[in-house]
Amino acid sequence: MKSVTATLALFRDLALLRRGPEELPVSWAWLVATIVAQALLGIVITALLPPLPPTPGLEDHSLALMALDVAVTLLWGWAILQAVGAPERFRQMMTAVFGIQLVLEPILSIAAWAMVYLEKNSAWAVGAQLLVTGLSMWGVVALARVLRSATGWPLFPCGVLVIAQTVVTYLIALAIFPDMAALLKQA
């Protein structure tokens, strides 16, 4: 149990930019456990929050979108580490990536929910939007630091790669589930 607590504290410190991914255990078990924990947390948060108005396409594909996000993230990380000749860093880097997302997900999910749930003209909705934007930018920086640690590349290109991975995931989702295009029209 001490190992779990220490690793969760390390995930928190990674998200707060205090420590680096090199301090994580090199373990397939930790990588899988972190992915599963993040998925379960997302399901629990969704179940606990009051329902939002139906969004065409989103409810039908939520589990598939979660699996797609995990798959693209893993493939993206693998490809980058292959490109730099450091495949041995895969488990640590990806555990750090999913660990940071695990830490940021509760706040980001609640803020995103609040942004949609509250009226668009509400000051609370504006505050939620600012929180989502700030946390998203913070997440990009935290993930770029992990990528920088694994590749040795400068922070800015690492940040661009983090953003590019998100865009690629979204484009693949739109290609697989064209009915999700309705989400773009609502935004």
Counting the structural domains of the chain, the total is 1
Euclidean distance between the first and the last CA atom of the chain, given in angstroms as a whole number: 43
Q: What's this model's pTM, rounded to 2 decimal places?
A: 0.90
Residue 53 is part of which domain span? 2-186
CA distance 127 to 105: 17
**According to the model, what pLDDT value does residue 123 have?**
81
**According to the model, what pLDDT value does residue 84 have?**
96
DSSP labels for 90-127? HHHHHHHHHHHHHHHHHHHHHHHHHHHHS-TT-HHHHH
CA distance 28 to 110: 30
Q: What is the pLDDT of residues 137-166, one digit of tens each?
A: 999 999 999 999 999 999 999 999 999 999
Residues 6+ apart with CB under 8 A from 41: 102, 105, 106
Residues of the chain with pLDDT under 50: none
